[in-house]
Amino acid sequence: MRAGLASTLEELESYPWCGHGVLTKKLEQPWQNIGYVLGLFSEHEREARRRYRKFVEKGISEGRRQELVGGGLLRSSGGRWALKELRKACVRAKGDERILGNSDFVEDVPRLANEAFEEKYELKFLGYDRDQVISCVAESMDIAPKEVKAFGKSPQTVMARPLLCFWAHWKLGTTTTEIARRLKITQPATSRLSKRGEQIEKECRLYLVDG
């Protein structure tokens, strides 16, 4: 809207080259992960969409914001004035127009993304699929595979579902939409479980593939 490609919120919702319309359910893109964004607004999808739309509508009145203009380095530095001051102080900074963050973060993101990309292909090469991940979760939690997707209250089953969501989404690349469909839960719930699963993996030092 700030670029003048859409003049109203309604036009923005039907604009196919950004994710807004998918978040408000006016457009459909199965590959777009909307769970993370909607999960920031509410646990219930309908309420999350309503609050998200209201949030965007409120931001329209702010107009063009200089700290959001330009490449990644310009935005991360806080605008042209701040970047100029950094250069005066002989502070070297690295930027990427796709990434908002400081130099170290900008350098880390492509490296970490490449590592994740390589891991997904290695797992597929080793024959890992949904059933294999379920078996790995079950073995890690010392429960039966059928209990992994169950709504049990034991400590093992409570930890199993988040770990399954995390490994399926971030290790295999399965979309949260597909995971939600298979587990019969909402996409925002899947995203929240995946975040919890990441914590469980770190806290319990679990690995989908040994070594």
Position 20 in a domain: yes
- The CA distance from 180 to 126, in Å, is 25
Position 98 in a domain: no
Number of domains the chain contains: 2
Position 190 in a domain: yes
Position 99 in a domain: no
Position 195 in a domain: yes
Position 123 in a domain: no
Which residues span the domain enclosing 158? 128-204
3-class SS string, 46-111: HHHHHHHHHHHHHHHCCCCCHHHCCCHHHHHHCCHHHHHHHHHCCCCCCCECCECCCHHHHHHHHH
CATH code of residue 160: 1.10.1750.10
Position 39 in a domain: yes
Position 17 in a domain: yes
Mean pLDDT by 10 residues, the chain (211 residues): 86 92 90 85 88 90 62 48 48 45 56 55 62 87 87 85 88 83 86 90 81 45
